[in-house]
């Protein structure tokens, strides 16, 4: 068979065109990639600390709506004040109930009092008087049982019918649905010896202790020892807590839940950000080959690119999480043998761009204190050579002390020049969850360790989600590259991570928005900046915002009602009687209707 | 969806369900047998067969101890299908063969699917079109009849459905008991409270289980639906008897529109009750008994003729089952159904059959008639009593009200007083023997024997006066006067009695004198013309007479097997039939020379239209009926709403007792007295919990005056708004005294203030679910693992 000339030319052109089409996309990706420039960096310096509503703006001596009784150094007091800042309530701290009584504000709606502030009969009378006025009271911890036994006023306020002479050791606790986000949960590992109280009718329990001998002694659920409850007294609610939850930030969500329960409807701002951070990953070197090869039959580099990265991306794609990777160019800065691999830099930057992730810088290193300065220099040099246009805006200090990185923040010619967000571990109880490190730099606190899920951690997470709609999950890859035991094997760790993401934390990922750290930073700044006023008229809630910029998120809690429409925003049901309202306008109108209630006829 | 729309949909749903079971399905099965019958004959046969079948299928299911939906479907569909096959002889084989051939041709590509579809659907389409054409043609040709009948039935739908439509709730407390029994049937227990005629309950259970319609829906609307059939039976019986086609409609009109009857005599038709259900089968007994006599007479004549022609074998081969036997079978069915439904209906059926028998004297005693009727009667009794006897033999006792009814019957016969005359003669008794008494009346005054005679003047006692013997004419005149006086006195006594049945005096006069005149005239005409037509008219007049005497039995010292409140209903129901036959007698006499040409129907039509016109223009339409205050409208509304919107068995209502059976299979119930009683004199340890997720509290802000009757267009009578004074009163929490009227107000007041106090403790959780002027329902949603303690101090406990 012969081919004519024109036929040959036609076939050739067709083949070239097909080749071009197939290769064009790859070539285009290579030349149009912006992996080496940080596209997620936002110019957010306009939302600096000066524009946010912080503690000093809300601390009002005469017009406060929330009174906090306690010592200023007390964790409970600091966390209470932090909560007031988050929900924009004007507050005032008093050292004693007497001082509060002398400086009473007519606008006061809530009284938070620590247990050590209730010691004398006079205190009890003040509390009774406050309750008579219709002011809700939260007791962050029960007073001593001797005080309770001796004071019928206190017992009446708390709705305590009887106090058992013996204490009881709980065999776990049950958190009932409707209090914190996440529904009903049994915590088997939360065990503590607490006073055994019996409550009167008219009380409502949110959390109770479980008893091992419940079935044997035929104890009804209603008679289990209460841990968190509410009693109605005259026109107010008194909340009692028979545990030490309020000594850490677990209290944040509980404050929100209690205040929501005391009101028919309650709307409050939230961050609405779920972040996922990998510490010391991407890892750009090839160290500790001995252990890595022994465990995984890979080099560190190939382990990173061929095992860890695909596993991680696959896990995150199931849950829709966005990755913020804190780069570790090296970990052993005392060993110059293995340097940062250029191929790894190219690879991870491109891969991160593909999954719409973000890269920050990690402060962790294995060599010890003197090498932190060397690390910063080394990282700057290597990364600047390879990705000169990439501005690192987020930084995870890891084991780098603050006195070191604080000197380099925002300094020219340093790797930390452009840092806007610090992701800090949960260290001290007085360390705020979201706060400003300096004028421009925002601190976000890690809320979960991605490889761990204990009962107390779960409760803490639920509290954060309830109070702020915020979580930052951090997984530390240092233990993968430098395993200390069999528990640090990646197979086990990835299985745990996948399990936690797709079960225990799944609900929150579905409710709230997945973000990178930069996006979470934006939302957190907006959260701290915004001011709002809401009022309800029949079935309509009006919400007016100031300092509003494009978008803000709120959680609306109702009781047996549902949202039918929102003007000036959108809504999403996150749980029964709880809605996430995303506003796009500074004036929002929310329409409600009762669930299941029939029309009323005249 | 509003309750009004729900009620209308339920009416339509239950109407068509019942119509399917008692009209369409029997018609399909018996089609071949019914071809020669007229429409109204088909109607009455289908109704009887359908109801009889349903009643006995349910009995069979329970006797075999297999009560379930599947066995109901099996026992109802399979025998019906077999009967359909046997009766109609459809060409099933041919049908299957045609399907097979069509499919084969399709696969062989000989026909397209369109052609195949056309072939298969041609015959069904033809039949449907023929049926529609037939219906349309029938309606067209009898447009006036259909129009008038439908108009009257539509008015009855409005009249008897008004209470359900507006008030929602059951109108009488008996319905709750019967609802309970049907609930028990649904749970597999028959005769849960003892042996009782269960035909009515079987039918309702059948409808519920077959179509999966809620029992509460059926109970609310079935009263109106069965009333349509009750009224239709008046028309059917009159069509059988009357020569005119339109006089039966006048009979229905008389019972429908004008205000002639005491409300108590017609109010029960709006309620779903077994006695009223049984009334559907009352007139069919007379219908088929009359038809039996007619057909038997024809058969005897035919037999005589054929025997005369020596064609005995022709006679023997003429019928597979004789038409008169069919009539007796249907008579037996309807008699059996009356016994299955309610014993009172059976008593009245006896009276009706006795009236027919009396009118057919001495024909009825001819052995050819009597033996057949006797056998039919025994078989019908057997078929009705047999299921009850089986369960009775199994140890199920009789139900309490049967004992009560027997007591009423026996005590009424004991109470029959000696005639007044005998009392006066007592002092003249000299001897008393076995069956005789001897009196010495020498010194007795004349007035003792002749009350019209005056007592002798004072001073003349003991004197005898010689009187001359009266002539024959004088004696006859005296007898006539005496008879007239007796009749007038009798009628006056009756009038005084039955004016609590027929409220218009003119109507009573018309009835009594018409009845007496008709009895005399028909008896005479029967002797003269020997037509069964006049016997039929006579039977209805006698029936009315017997029913009126039943109602007035106490005043005439007769045995009274039935309470007057019940016999009043039958007396009212007998009047339209009598009026119809009376009018037809006049029609028959007047238009006999014209051979009842169809143009003569103009006069009955005109009479009907004129009557309607006069009734409407003179505002003589009967006022809306009465009902008893049983439940508030809000309570029924909430029952429906909760059953529809909340998952089964996940909710409890705390309310008065009447809602218990209504929501039985859907949710839980706690009585108000039980709930409040638990926290009466409470201490710190008192706990009152209800272990369901949703709890509803029904509170009557205006507690209804339970059992009080008032017009359906007015609100229920109530005891006044709940108050603190009433809440402070001591209440009774258990025993029958807890259900007293005053205690009801106290309990509702206490519950009202309990709710207010509880709402303060749980302002977000304890919400108003529904509220109107007289009723409020609260709802609380609980954590089932940690229930609320409802025991709180609300001041009045």
Count of CB atoms within 10 A of residue B443's CB? 8
How far apart, in whole angstroms, are the C-alpha atoms of residue A544 and residue A564? 19
| Burial class of residue B773 in the structure, from the number of CB atoms within 10 Å of its CB (0-12 exposed, 13-18 middle, 19+ buried) | exposed
The overall average pLDDT reported for chain A is 87
Q: What is the dihedral of CA A297, A298, A299, A300, to 10 degrees?
A: -110
In B646-740, alpha helices (H): 659-662, 672-678, 724-728
Asked if B771 and A600 come within 8 Å (Cβ–Cβ), the reply is yes
Q: Which domain holds residue A583?
A: 530-594
Nearest to B292 by CA among B262, B260, B326: B326
Average pLDDT by stretches of 10, chain B with 797 residues = 90 96 94 88 95 94 92 94 90 86 86 83 87 88 89 93 89 88 91 88 96 93 95 95 92 93 90 94 94 90 85 76 88 93 92 92 83 88 88 83 63 49 53 46 55 44 54 82 81 82 87 89 84 89 93 81 87 94 91 80 90 91 85 91 93 89 89 93 88 95 88 85 92 87 91 94 91 94 91 88
User: Chain B contact for A538, CB < 8 A?
Assistant: no
Backbone region of residue B671 per phi and psi (left: phi > 0; alpha: psi in -120 to 50; beta: other values): beta
- Measured in whole angstroms, the distance separating CA A80 from the mean position of its chain's CA atoms is 17
Name the residue with tokens 């009835």: B511
- Is the residue at A286 inside a domain? yes
Residues 548-577 of A with CB under 8 A from B: 559-560
Domain ranges of chain B: 279-411+505-617, 633-781
Checking if the pLDDT of A415 tops 90, the result is no
Nearest to B45 by CA among B292, B239, B297, B329: B329
Q: CB within 8 A of B507, min separation 6: which ones? A: B260
How far apart, in whole angstroms, are the C-alpha atoms of residue B764 and residue B335? 61
CA angle A462, A464, A470 (to 5 degrees): 115
Min mean pLDDT across A221-235, A396-410, A570-584, B635-649 is at A396-410
Cβ contact A199:A160 at 8 Å: yes
Q: Determine the pLDDT at residue B435.
A: 38
Q: Determine the pLDDT at residue A35.
A: 63
User: Do residues A483 and A554 both lie within one domain?
Assistant: no
User: Do residues A551 and A432 both lie within one domain?
Assistant: no
Residue of B nearest to A559 (CA): B764
Residue of B nearest to A226 (CA): B786
User: Do residues A564 and A457 both lie within one domain?
Assistant: no
Give the domain-ending residue among A524, A550, A579: A524
3-state secondary structure of B776: strand
User: Do residues A384 and A280 both lie within one domain?
Assistant: yes
User: Chain B contact for A594, CB < 8 A?
Assistant: yes
Q: Determine the pLDDT at residue A406.
A: 86
Cβ contact B698:B653 at 8 Å: yes
How far apart, in whole angstroms, are the C-alpha atoms of residue B171 and residue B406? 27
Tally of domains in chain A: 3
The more confidently predicted of residues A207 and B506 is A207
Flag whether the ipTM exceeds 0.85. Answer: no
- Which tokens in the block code for residue B119? 């072939």
Give the domain-ending residue among A232, A251, A270: A270
Q: Determine the pLDDT at residue B241.
A: 93
- Is the residue at A579 inside a domain? yes
- Which tokens in the block code for residue B661? 């059976």
Q: CB within 8 A of B101, min separation 6: which ones? A: none
- Is the residue at A569 inside a domain? yes
How far apart, in whole angstroms, are the C-alpha atoms of residue B749 and residue B701? 8
DSSP letter, residue A283: B
Q: Can you name the residues that pair with A470 across neighbouring β-strands?
A: A273
| Burial class of residue A565 in the structure, from the number of CB atoms within 10 Å of its CB (0-12 exposed, 13-18 middle, 19+ buried) | exposed
Q: Can you name the residues that pair with A319 across neighbouring β-strands?
A: none
Nearest to B793 by CA among A154, A239, A201: A201
How many contacts does A have with B, using Cβ atoms within 8 A? 79
Confidence grade of residue A227 (pLDDT, cut at 50, 70, 90): very high
| Closest chain B C-alpha to A9 CA, distance in angstroms | 50
Q: What is the dihedral of CA B237, B242, B247, B251, to 10 degrees?
A: -30
Of the residues A161, A162, A180, A201, the best mutation for testing chain B's interface (the one with the most B CB atoms within 10 Å of its CB) is A201
Confidence grade of residue A57 (pLDDT, cut at 50, 70, 90): confident
- Is the residue at A285 inside a domain? yes
Checking if the pLDDT of A96 tops 60, the result is yes
Residues 131-170 of A with CB under 8 A from B: 161-162
Chain B interface residues (partner A, CB cutoff 8 A): 637-638, 641, 645-646, 684-689, 758, 760-765, 767-773, 779, 781, 783, 785-792
Q: Determine the pLDDT at residue B722.
A: 92
How far apart, in whole angstroms, are the C-alpha atoms of residue B599 and residue B591? 10
Cβ contact A253:A529 at 8 Å: no
- Which tokens in the block code for residue B746? 């106290």
User: Chain B contact for A238, CB < 8 A?
Assistant: no
CATH of the domain at A89: 3.40.50.880
pLDDT > 90: percent of chain A: 41
How far apart, in whole angstroms, are the C-alpha atoms of residue A517 and residue A325? 9
- Measured in whole angstroms, the distance separating CA A329 from the mean position of its chain's CA atoms is 28
Nearest to A494 by CA among A348, A310, A350: A310
Nearest to B201 by CA among B217, B213, B214, B184: B184
| Burial class of residue A589 in the structure, from the number of CB atoms within 10 Å of its CB (0-12 exposed, 13-18 middle, 19+ buried) | middle
User: Do residues A235 and A333 both lie within one domain?
Assistant: no
Asked if A202 and B687 come within 8 Å (Cβ–Cβ), the reply is no
Asked if B761 and A202 come within 8 Å (Cβ–Cβ), the reply is yes
Q: CB within 8 A of A305, min separation 6: which ones? A: A344, A347, A348
- Which tokens in the block code for residue B749? 């007041």
Residue of A nearest to B689 (CA): A222
User: Do residues A378 and A293 both lie within one domain?
Assistant: yes
> SS3 breakdown of chain B: % helix, strand, coil, rounded to 5?
65, 5, 25
Nearest to B792 among A202, A264, A594 (CB): A202
How far apart, in whole angstroms, are the C-alpha atoms of residue A303 and residue A344? 11
User: Do residues A366 and A421 both lie within one domain?
Assistant: yes
User: Do residues A346 and A261 both lie within one domain?
Assistant: no
User: Do residues A367 and A504 both lie within one domain?
Assistant: yes
On chain B, the residues whose CB falls within 8 A of the CB of A202 are: 758, 761-762, 789, 792
Give the domain-ending residue among A501, A524, A547: A524
CATH of the domain at A537: 2.60.40
- Which tokens in the block code for residue A106? 């007519």
Crossing angle of helices B343-359 and B323-341, in 10° steps, is 150
- Is the residue at A459 inside a domain? yes
Cβ contact B687:A201 at 8 Å: yes
Concatenate the DSSP letters of all residues of B328-352 into one string: HHHHHHHHHHHHHH-HHHHHHHHHH
Q: Can you name the residues that pair with B422 across neighbouring β-strands?
A: none
Q: Determine the pLDDT at residue B7.
A: 93
Of the residues B761, B778, B780, the best mutation for testing chain A's interface (the one with the most A CB atoms within 10 Å of its CB) is B761
- Is the residue at A54 inside a domain? yes
User: Do residues A422 and A502 both lie within one domain?
Assistant: yes
How far apart, in whole angstroms, are the C-alpha atoms of residue A137 and residue A236? 8
How far apart, in whole angstroms, are the C-alpha atoms of residue B716 and residue B665? 28
Min mean pLDDT across A341-355, A583-597, B425-439, B458-472 is at B425-439
Q: Determine the pLDDT at residue B409.
A: 59
Asked if A221 and B786 come within 8 Å (Cβ–Cβ), the reply is yes
User: Do residues A64 and A139 both lie within one domain?
Assistant: yes
User: Do residues A288 and A318 both lie within one domain?
Assistant: yes
């Amino acid at each position: 068979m012969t081919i004519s000339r024109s036929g040959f030319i036609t076939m050739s052109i067709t083949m070239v065109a097909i080749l071009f089409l197939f290769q064009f996309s790859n070539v285009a990706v290579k030349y149009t990639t912006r992996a080496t420039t940080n596209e997620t960096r936002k110019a957010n310096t306009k939302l600096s600390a000066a524009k946010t509503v912080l503690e000093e703006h809300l601390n009002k001596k005469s017009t406060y709506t929330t009174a906090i009784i306690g010592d200023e150094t007390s964790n409970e007091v600091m966390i209470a004040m932090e909560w007031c800042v988050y929900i924009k309530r004007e507050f005032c701290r008093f050292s004693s109930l007497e001082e509060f009584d002398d400086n009473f504000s007519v606008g006061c709606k809530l009284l938070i009092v620590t247990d050590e502030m209730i010691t004398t009969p006079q205190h009890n009378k003040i509390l009774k008087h406050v309750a008579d006025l219709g002011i809700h009271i939260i007791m962050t911890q029960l007073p001593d049982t001797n005080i309770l036994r001796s004071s019928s006023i206190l017992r009446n306020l708390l709705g305590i019918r009887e106090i058992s002479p013996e204490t009881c050791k709980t065999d776990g606790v049950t958190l009932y649905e409707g209090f914190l986000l996440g529904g009903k949960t049994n915590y088997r590992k939360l065990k503590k010896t607490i006073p055994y109280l019996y409550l009167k009718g008219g009380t409502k329990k949110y959390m109770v202790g479980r008893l091992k001998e419940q079935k044997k002694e035929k104890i009804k659920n209603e008679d289990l020892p209460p841990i968190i409850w509410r009693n109605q007294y005259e026109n107010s609610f008194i909340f009692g807590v028979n545990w030490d939850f309020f000594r850490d930030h677990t209290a944040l969500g509980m404050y929100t839940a209690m205040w929501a329960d005391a009101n028919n409807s309650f709307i409050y701002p939230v961050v609405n950000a779920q972040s996922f951070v990998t510490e010391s990953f991407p890892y750009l070197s090839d160290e500790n080959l001995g252990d890595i090869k022994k465990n995984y039959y890979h080099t560190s580099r190939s382990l990173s690119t061929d095992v860890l990265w695909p596993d991680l991306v696959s896990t995150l794609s199931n849950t829709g999480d966005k990755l913020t990777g804190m780069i570790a160019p090296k970990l052993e800065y005392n060993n110059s043998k293995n340097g940062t691999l250029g191929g790894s830099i190219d690879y991870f930057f491109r891969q991160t761009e593909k999954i719409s992730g973000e890269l920050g810088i990690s402060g962790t290193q294995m060599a010890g204190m003197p090498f932190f300065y060397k690390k910063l220099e080394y990282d700057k040099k290597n990364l600047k050579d390879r990705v000169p246009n990439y501005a690192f805006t987020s930084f995870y200090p890891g084991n780098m002390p603050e006195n070191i990185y604080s000197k380099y923040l925002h300094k020219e010619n340093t790797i930390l020049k452009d840092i806007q967000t610090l992701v800090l571990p949960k260290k001290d109880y007085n360390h705020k969850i979201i706060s400003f490190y300096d004028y421009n730099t925002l601190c976000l606190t890690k809320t979960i360790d991605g490889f761990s899920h204990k009962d107390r951690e779960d409760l803490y997470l639920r509290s954060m989600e309830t109070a702020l709609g915020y979580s930052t999950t951090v997984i530390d890859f240092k233990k993968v590259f430098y395993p200390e035991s069999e528990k640090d094997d990646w197979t086990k760790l990835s299985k745990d991570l996948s399990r936690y993401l797709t079960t225990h934390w799944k609900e929150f990922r579905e409710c709230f928005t997945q973000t990178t750290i930069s996006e979470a930073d934006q939302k957190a700044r907006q959260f701290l900046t915004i001011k709002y006023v809401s009022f309800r008229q029949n079935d309509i809630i009006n919400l007016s915002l100031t300092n509003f910029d494009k978008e803000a998120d709120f959680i609306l809690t109702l009781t047996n009602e549902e949202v039918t429409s929102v003007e000036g925003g959108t809504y999403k049901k996150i749980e029964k009687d709880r809605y996430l309202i995303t506003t796009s306008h500074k004036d929002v109108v929310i329409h409600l209707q009762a669930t299941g209630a029939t029309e009323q006829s005249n | 969806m509003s309750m009004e729309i729900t009620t209308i949909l339920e009416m339509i749903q239950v109407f068509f369900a019942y119509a399917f079971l008692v009209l369409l399905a029997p018609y399909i099965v018996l089609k071949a047998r019914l071809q020669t019958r007229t429409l109204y004959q088909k109607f009455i046969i289908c109704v009887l067969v359908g109801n009889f079948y349903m009643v006995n299928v349910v009995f069979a299911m329970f006797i075999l101890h297999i009560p379930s939906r599947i066995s109901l479907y099996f026992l109802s569909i399979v025998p019906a299908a077999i009967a359909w096959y046997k009766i109609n002889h459809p060409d099933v084989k041919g049908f299957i063969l045609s399907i097979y051939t069509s499919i084969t041709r399709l696969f062989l590509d000989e026909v397209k699917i369109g052609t195949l579809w056309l072939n298969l659907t041609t015959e069904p389409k033809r039949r449907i079109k023929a049926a529609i054409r037939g219906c349309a043609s029938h309606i067209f040709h009898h447009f006036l009849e259909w129009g008038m009948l439908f108009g009257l039935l539509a008015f009855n739908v409005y009249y008897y459905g008004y209470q359900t439509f507006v008030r929602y709730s059951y109108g009488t407390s008996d319905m709750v008991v019967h609802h309970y029994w049907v609930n028990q049937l649904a749970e597999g227990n028959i005769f849960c409270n003892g042996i009782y005629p269960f035909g009515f309950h079987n039918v309702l259970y059948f409808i519920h289980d077959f179509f999966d319609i809620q029992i509460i829906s059926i109970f609310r609307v079935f009263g109106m639906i069965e009333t349509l059939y009750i009224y239709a039976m008046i028309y059917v019986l009159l069509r059988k008897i009357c020569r005119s086609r339109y006089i039966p409609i006048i009979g229905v009109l008389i019972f429908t529109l004008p205000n002639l009857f005491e409300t108590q005599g017609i109010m029960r038709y709006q309620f779903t009750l077994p006695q009223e259900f049984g009334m559907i089968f009352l007139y069919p007994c007379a219908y088929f008994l009359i038809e039996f006599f007619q057909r038997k007479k024809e058969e005897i004549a035919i037999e005589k003729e054929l025997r005369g022609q020596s064609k005995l074998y022709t006679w023997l081969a003429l019928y597979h089952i004789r038409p008169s036997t069919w009539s007796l079978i249907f008579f037996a069915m309807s008699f059996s159904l009356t016994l299955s439904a309610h014993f009172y209906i059976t008593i009245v059926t006896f009276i009706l059959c006795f009236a027919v028998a009396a009118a057919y004297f001495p024909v009825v005693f001819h052995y050819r008639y009597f033996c057949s009727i006797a056998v039919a009667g025994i078989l019908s009794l057997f078929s009705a009593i047999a299921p009850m006897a089986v369960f009775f033999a199994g140890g199920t006792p009789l139900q309490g009200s049967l004992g009560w009814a027997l007591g009423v019957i026996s005590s009424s016969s004991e109470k029959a007083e000696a005639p007044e005359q005998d009392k006066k003669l007592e002092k003249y008794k000299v001897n008393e023997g076995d069956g005789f008494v001897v009196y010495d009346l020498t010194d007795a005054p004349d007035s003792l024997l002749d009350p019209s005679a005056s007592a002798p003047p004072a001073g003349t006692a003991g004197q005898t006066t010689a009187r001359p013997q009266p002539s024959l004419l004088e004696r006859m005149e005296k007898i006539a006067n005496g008879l007239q006086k007796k009749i007038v006195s009798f009628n006056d006594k009756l009038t005084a009695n039955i004016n609590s049945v027929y409220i218009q005096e003119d109507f009573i006069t018309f009835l009594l004198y018409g009845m007496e005149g008709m009895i005399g005239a028909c008896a005479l005409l029967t002797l003269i013309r020997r037509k069964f037509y006049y016997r039929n008219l006579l039977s209805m007049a006698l029936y009315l007479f017997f029913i009126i005497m039943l109602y007035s039995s106490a005043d005439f010292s007769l045995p009274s097997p039935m309470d007057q409140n019940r016999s009043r209903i039958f007396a009212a129901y007998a009047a339209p039939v009598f009026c119809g036959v009376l009018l037809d007698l006049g029609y028959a006499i007047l238009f006999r020379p014209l051979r009842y040409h169809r143009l003569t129907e103009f006069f009955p039509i005109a009479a009907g239209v004129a009557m309607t016109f006069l009734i409407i223009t003179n505002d003589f339409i009967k006022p809306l009926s009465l009902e008893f205050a049983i439940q508030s409208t809000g309570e029924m509304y909430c029952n429906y709403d909760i059953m529809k919107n909340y998952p089964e068995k996940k909710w409890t209502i705390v309310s008065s007792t009447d809602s218990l059976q209504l929501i039985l299979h859907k949710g839980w119930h706690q009585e108000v007295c039980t709930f409040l009683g638990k926290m009466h004199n409470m201490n710190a340890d008192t706990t009152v919990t209800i272990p369901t997720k949703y709890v509803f509290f029904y509170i009557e802000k205006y507690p209804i005056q339970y059992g009080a009757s008032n017009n359906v267009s007015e609100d229920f009578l109530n005891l006044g708004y709940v108050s603190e004074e009433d809440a402070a009163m001591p209440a009774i929490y258990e025993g029958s005294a807890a259900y007293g009227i005053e205690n009801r107000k106290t309990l509702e007041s206490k519950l009202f203030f309990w709710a207010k106090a509880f709402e303060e403790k749980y302002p977000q959780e304890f919400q108003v679910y529904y509220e109107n002027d007289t009723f409020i329902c609260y709802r609380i949603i609980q954590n089932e693992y940690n229930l609320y303690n409802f025991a709180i101090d609300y001041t009045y406990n």
